[in-house]
């Protein structure tokens, strides 16, 4: 058996960057009555990588997101983020701690402008409450100005700066996806969870989305995504984990995972690739 200490020392001696765990899902089980949505799932996402979570419909992927972000408290197991246990925390606490997400079904404030939607995300770190807003106190005005500037920067970052004054419901579908990403980024996350970001996009939009996801990673953030488009997953991911019926059946680089017989069987219902 390989000694982890020796492996770490060898990697350091060779000048290989050591993986630094950021999000650790440690033997998590999530049960709803008699239904087991996750069974002893163990996944580690390292700082600075693009990590994809894939699997057939109903495999438990969104349940992972809901456990990580505080929507569900796991039946058993732990979730640690940056070394701190976060399972059982409230959703706003998880967000303040550096975890943000988007949703499979886009959730925007449809009657607000694109700029206003992103400013809502920036509010997650504002210190002034309702009283400061009502009284229009100086520090509230400073935070409001800062939130507006940040929102404009993020709209430019995701490529829809020209749409800042447009009402969210009037944006094209692909731009609505980008707007939701900008709003999530406004919370200043260390990790961004993207739930099927390419759903409903045409090939050109998917290509542009890949560039944006890489840009987010290159800006110093870690990305965890759920995605059904295998072309996108295999092109963009550093590592991939595969769930089937709530259990982890494979994990590794895209090239290794797509050759795994268990993965082929889960997707195709056959044990060989022919």
- Number of DSSP helices (H) and strands (E) in the chain, helices first: 11, 10
- Helix-, strand-, coil-residue percentages of the chain, each rounded to 5: 40, 25, 35
pTM (predicted TM-score): 0.85
In 3D, which of 247, 110, 120 has the Cα closest to residue 183? 120
* Whether pLDDT at 8 is above 60: no
Other CB atoms within 10 Å distance of the CB of residue 203: 10
Cα angle: 115, vertex 125, 99; to 5 degrees: 90
Contact status, residue 160 vs residue 179, Cβ threshold 8 Å: yes
In this prediction, residues 210-234 reach a mean pLDDT of 96
Mean pLDDT of 17-22: 82
Question: Which pLDDT tens digit goes with each residue over 154-185?
Answer: 999 999 999 999 999 999 999 999 999 999 99
Q: How high is the pLDDT of residue 239?
A: 97
**Burial class, 17, CB count within 10 angstroms (exposed 0-12 / middle 13-18 / buried 19+):** exposed
pLDDT at 209 over 50: yes
Asked whether the predicted pLDDT for residue 142 surpasses 80, the reply is no
- Identify which has the larger pLDDT, 247 or 266: 247
How confident is the prediction for the chain on average, in pLDDT? 87
């Amino acid at each position: 058996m390989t000694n982890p200490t020796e492996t770490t020392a060898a990697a350091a001696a060779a000048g290989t960057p050591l993986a630094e765990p950021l999000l650790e899902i440690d033997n998590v089980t999530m049960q709803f009555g008699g239904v087991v949505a996750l069974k002893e799932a163990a996944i580690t996402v390292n700082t600075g990588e693009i990590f994809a979570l894939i699997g057939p419909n109903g495999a438990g992927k969104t349940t992972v997101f809901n456990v990580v972000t505080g929507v569900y408290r796991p039946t058993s197991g732990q979730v640690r983020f940056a070394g701190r246990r976060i399972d059982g925390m409230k959703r706003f606490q998880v967000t303040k701690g550096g975890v943000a997400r988007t949703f499979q079904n886009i959730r925007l404030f449809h009657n607000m402008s694109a700029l206003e939607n992103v400013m809502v995300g920036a509010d997650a770190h504002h210190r002034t409450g309702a009283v400061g807003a009502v009284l229009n106190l100086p520090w509230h005005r400073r935070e409001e100005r800062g939130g507006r500037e940040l929102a404009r920067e993020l709209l430019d970052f995701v490529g829809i700066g020209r749409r800042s004054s447009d009402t969210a419901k009037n944006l094209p579908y692909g731009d609505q996806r980008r707007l939701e990403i900008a709003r999530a980024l406004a919370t200043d996350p260390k990790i961004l969870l993207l739930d099927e970001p390419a759903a409903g996009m045409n090939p050109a939009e998917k290509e542009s989305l890949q560039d944006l996801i890489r840009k987010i990673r290159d800006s110093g953030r870690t990305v965890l995504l759920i995605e059904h488009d295998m072309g996108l997953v295999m092109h963009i991911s550093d590592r991939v984990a595969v769930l089937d019926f709530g259990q982890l059946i494979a994990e590794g680089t895209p090239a290794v995972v797509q050759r795994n017989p268990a993965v082929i069987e889960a997707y195709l219902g056959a044990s060989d690739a022919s």
